[in-house]
Structure 1
């Protein structure tokens, strides 16, 4: 495929923590390419902490809005708009919204090793 394709999001999926995730619906979008990564946008309400997540794939979070604290393995980072956090595969991670508004993030994950 050489032409750009508009890709839709799946139906929002709510979690017990209050987080809402919308994954990119590449399989349900006619003409969508088979790229080597997946993506989602998600929101975490004020005071909420996401479930601890661990998986085989590498992942990158991009903070779109809000303030939070990311825990990954033994590391804790404060994050805000415009910042990004990389997670290696098999390293547990989660985020807590420490602000007063929605914490909005965009996530991309792929099967691959750590960047060199």
Structure 2
């Protein structure tokens, strides 16, 4: 295990029909990390596809405003706020603002709901 810092880049952007664009962290070290990371953005007025997976996930809102729907709960989000999702809990976000909603996401093998 290295103790030296490593420069982390992003993979090529993935574009979804919803307009969401996501870039996952890409470095040789990611295979050794206990988590994965990405950044994504959603255009104004658009809603991401419903997402559900086994891993726990934490979203950190960098800019923009949105409404997150997950497990029967609706939350408004703004810059500086975070949202946690347990594994196997469906979730999606709608950009309710006038600017792109930008989010940093980290996920790991965590508890299921």
Task: Determine if the TM-score, normalized by the shorter chain, exceeds 0.5.
Answer: yes
Q: Which runs of 5+ in 2 are unaligned?
A: none
Matches within 5 A, 1:24-35: 24-26=25-27, 29=28, 32=29, 34-35=32-33
Query: Which secondary structure does the structure 1 equivalent of 2:48 belong to?
Result: coil
Q: Within the alignment, does 1:55 sit opposite 2:53 as a pair?
A: yes
Contact 2:86 2:110 (C-alpha < 8 Å) held by counterparts: no
Matches within 5 A, 1:73-84: 73-84=71-82
Deviation at 1:69, TM superposition (A): 0.0
Deviation at 1:113, TM superposition (A): 2.1
Query: Between Structure 1 and Structure 2, how many residues are aligned?
Result: 110
Q: Within the alignment, does 1:38 sit opposite 2:33 as a pair?
A: no
Q: CA RMSD in A?
A: 1.0
Counterpart of 1:9 in structure 2 is 10
Q: What are the superposed Cα offsets for residues 63-109 of structure 1, whole Å, 9 maximum, x if unpaired? A: 00000000001000000000000000000000000000000000000
Cα distance in 1, alignment partners of residues 83 and 33 from structure 2 = 22
Cα distance in 2, alignment partners of residues 112 and 97 from structure 1 = 27
Q: What are the superposed Cα offsets for residues 31-76 of structure 1, whole Å, 9 maximum, x if unpaired? A: x251110000000000000000000000000000000000001000
Contact 2:60 2:105 (C-alpha < 8 Å) held by counterparts: yes
